[in-house]
Amino acid sequence: MIGNSCMSLLLSGATGFLGSALASWLVDNADYRLVLALRRKILDPFPGSQSVVIGDLDGDTDWSPALLDIDVVIHTAARVHVMDESIDNPLTEFRKVNVEGTLNFARQAAAMGVKRFIYISSIKVNGELTVPGRPFTADDSPAPVDPYAISKWESEAGLFQIAEETCMEVVIIRPPLVYGPGVKANFQSMMCWISRGVPLPLGAIHNKRSLLALDNLVDLIVTCIKHPSAANQVFLASDGDDISTTELLKQVGNALGRSARLISIPEYIIIITARMLGKHDLSQRLLGSLQVDMKKTQDLLGWRPRVTVDEAIRKTAQAFIRQC
């Protein structure tokens, strides 16, 4: 159980999308000693925190300079999912960082007396798609498909093994699609398409997708720092309002002040076209359902989403407009 006295936190991935938002919150809102593990030296990335240069994340990384007197580790750094992977053996590359790198980090943390290790995993450990009305739960049997998801599942299993062998607690969070100010990848592309008035053949999609606003994920991680019931558990979370791709596009358009130009085309035509263009994975994300059940998170932690989908989309769109 984590005490309530002033705590020391070590955060990896502090310059990433999630890590930077979490570091900003911890510096501004909480009475913690915050240490940032960085790949390379950056001058005062978050004033009020302490930075330690660790280098690349792999099985040989020496974490000892950063782990001194640390109570809780929050590990957000990872080799992330790549849509168009070009290397010959991506699983090997994912394992070097996400499995070997993570477990090396955790073993050193346990040896240095760290009390809790919070690991940001992925809903892809559960699988790629859900059947309508049957959302993923935290206690489902894992069913990872691609190399990224497999590496995340293997790292989770290794972390729980370390927890059994040591006194260090482990907390796993598997977020679905995370969005917020500064979001990149597909969500950013979607905002670009809408802002440019590009016609999109997605006006009649009736799937259901769980999303997780950046602010809500940060709030959940902060909750897991001290909550006694978080120890050695897996948590799923969302904004609590699953929406279709069509609904998402319309809401983003409204937030951008540009009506999304949606064309209603039958899903089977989109699927066939996507396969012909080698974009089957993208069509799955646009057309398929992926819902999460966060009842366990709510029951054990008393956690509820802090912001709604509408609020989070507006905030994301406003940041996008400012950047353009």
Residues with Cβ within 8 Å of 294's Cβ and at least 6 positions away in sequence, in order, are 235, 236, 237, 238, 240
Nearest to 94 by CA among 153, 13, 148, 149: 148
CA proximity to 53, closest of 91, 14, 100: 14
Q: Which of 32, 119, 148, 179 is catalytic?
A: 148
| CB of 246 closer than 8 Å to CB of 266 | no
Q: Which residues, in sequence order, are bridge partners of residue 191? A: none
Identity at 117, one-letter amino acid code? F
E strand spans, 99-239: 116-120, 169-174, 177-179, 211-213, 233-236
Active site residue 148: yes
User: In 3D, which of 205, 214, 256 has the Cα closest to residue 239?
Assistant: 214
DSSP string, 23-77: HHHHHHH--EEEEEEESS--S-SSBTBEEEE--S-STT---HHHHTT-SEEEE--
The DSSP letter of residue 242 is -
Catalytic residues: 148
